[in-house]
Structure 1
Amino acid sequence: MALVYVVDDELNVRRIIKQTMENEGNEVSGFVTAEEALEAIEKRQPDLIFMDLTLPSMDGVQFLKELEDRAYSIPVVVVSAITSPESIRAVFKLGIVDFLTKPFTPQELRQAAELSLKNEESLQKRARDIRRLIEEKEFRKANSLLRELFADFPSSPYPHFLYALLIKSSNPRVAAKHLRAALSLDEEFKEASSELRKLEE
């Protein structure tokens, strides 16, 4: 079960997404504004966000930038009536995983959610594989997979953390730098804090 947030000022849209996602066994909360959603995210981070680009006060692009500034790594699916290529390119550059045009079908919602949540699962699995390679001293293979992880998940703390584990013996100064980068992306990352303390002792 995933926790899903829906940010859209149209009641009907929130209702359709909520019903579709709850039918798949997920927990869903709806918000009219980006500001309300940000308040909720501070208390409890969702596994996925569906959001419109046209929102009262803070718009969707500003919301995405705010998520980035606060170092949240949450999969986002944009659901919007705006279809200009410039707008779509702009939001994909800000790291969204999918863009659905209104009106949409429940099937499109399910597919977008599956893609987004699978991406997050993929990150966790690949991080585990790289960590195993580091523990087995397969450093060259781990380094190769890490480069791909950096490219695929640039806003995640895991590539920085794993790279620090990879090089901490040979280059502790650079390892510490990457651990700080991981903590800037997720200040609750306890393992990164622990490794950084060890390097600084």
Structure 2
Amino acid sequence: MKTILVIDDEKNIRMTVSYALEVEGFQVDTAVNGEDALQQMIDKQYNLLLLDLQMPGMGGMEFLRRLVARNTLPHVVIISAHGTVANAVEAMKLGAVDFIQKPFTPEELRRLVAAVFARDVLDPTAALTYEENLQLVKRLVGERRMEEAIGRAKETIGLDPQRPEAFNLLGALYDIEGERSQAMKNYRVALDLDPTYQVAQKNLQRRWEERSQPDLG
């Protein structure tokens, strides 16, 4: 059974998330802040953390740094109260690849959690589909293997150069690495291929306005 720890100071979020995932067969525990979560993780290992960044006491970023220092970081989904996350790039560098914005529906949450766990079974040596490669790239980012993630994103582009998703993903990876010009270049290619691709539109606009987190798609 997969184990999940929900770390959020809002009681209604903890209760809503717990119920939405427990009915799917997950074992769910909750914590009110980083200190509480660290205490619970002494005696128990978790497969996934659902983490709010803004909490009284130890916030989400300091909590992530502590886990990375201990080399004990499982999958992490950031729960965001707003469309922007001030520390998003640092959070991604620490391995927090996925974001979900409040308010979200139980079904949106379940889909994201399922996608995160589905990455675990992907074999990088196998002949993966385009979509599977996109998920593998996200897994590599979560494991803080950025060089491999960038290489795999480029390979994915080669599988179907007419699709925008891998170009946007590569742009987001360069964004995380601080390579602004390369990020902008790949976002523009994605939009040239599909002017209606909203993820790339949002990333390009965000890059011009210097706000929010890169969207990996």
Q: Could you state the TM-score of these two structures normalised by the residue count of structure 1?
A: 0.60
Amino acid across the alignment from 1:70: R
Q: Are 1:87 and 2:87 an aligned pair?
A: yes
C-alpha distance in 2, partners of 1:44/1:152?
Answer: 24
**Any conservation in 1 of the 2:79–2:100 contact (CA below 8 Å)?**
yes
Find the counterpart in structure 1 of residue 157 from structure 2. none
Alignment of 1:137-176 (within 5 A): 154-155=143-144
Aligned counterparts of 1:93 and 1:9: Cα–Cα separation in 2: 24
Matches within 5 A, 1:32-51: 32-51=32-51
What's the C-alpha RMSD, in Å, of the aligned pairs?
2.6
Distance 1:151 1:118, change over 3 A: closer
Kindly tell me the number of residue pairs found equivalent between the two proteins.
Answer: 136
1:10-49 deviations in whole A, cap 9, x for unaligned? 0000001000100111100011111111111121110111
SS in 1 for 2:49: strand
1:84 positional shift: 2.2
String of CA shifts for 1:133-190, please: whole Å, max 9, x gaps: xxxxxxxxxxxxxxx9x9556458xx9xxxxxxxxxxxxxxxxxxxxxxxxxxxxxxx
Tell me the percent identity: 33
Residues 7 and 51, structure 2, Cα contact 8 Å, conserved in 1: yes
Flag structure 2 segments of 5+ consecutive residues without an equivalent: 127-136, 149-217
Instruction: Give the match's secondary structure for 2:77.
Output: strand
User: Partners of 2:44 and 2:53 in 1: how far apart?
Assistant: 22
TM-score, normalised to structure 2, is 0.56
Alignment of 1:1-201 (within 5 A): 1-84=1-84, 86-122=86-122, 125-126=123-124, 154-155=143-144
Q: Is the 8 A contact 2:92 2:141 kept in 1?
A: no
- How big is the shift at 1:64? 1.0
Specify the code of the residue in structure 2 equivalent to 1:67: L
Q: Alpha-carbon deviations, 1:62-104, whole Å to 9, x = none?
A: 1111111110130000112143254333322221131011111
Contact 1:21/1:110 (<8 A) preserved: yes
Aligned residue for 2:104, secondary structure, equals coil
Change (3 A) 1:74 1:55: same
**Closer/same/farther in 2, CA of residues 19 and 93 from structure 1, 3 Å limit:** same
- Residues 22 and 84 of structure 1: CA distance in aligned 2, closer, same or farther (over 3 Å): same
Alpha-carbon distance between aligned partners in 1 of 2:44 and 2:58, rounded to the nearest angstrom: 20
SS of the counterpart of 2:66? helix
Q: Is residue 77–residue 97 contact of structure 2 (8 Å, CA) maintained in 1?
A: yes
The whole-number CA distance in structure 1 between the counterparts of 2:141 and 2:88 is 19
Instruction: Give the number of the structure whose residues are more often helix, by fraction.
Output: 1
| Secondary structure class of the residue paired with 2:99 | strand
**Partner AA of 2:81 in structure 1:** A
Task: Report how far residue 115 of structure 1 moved.
Answer: 1.8
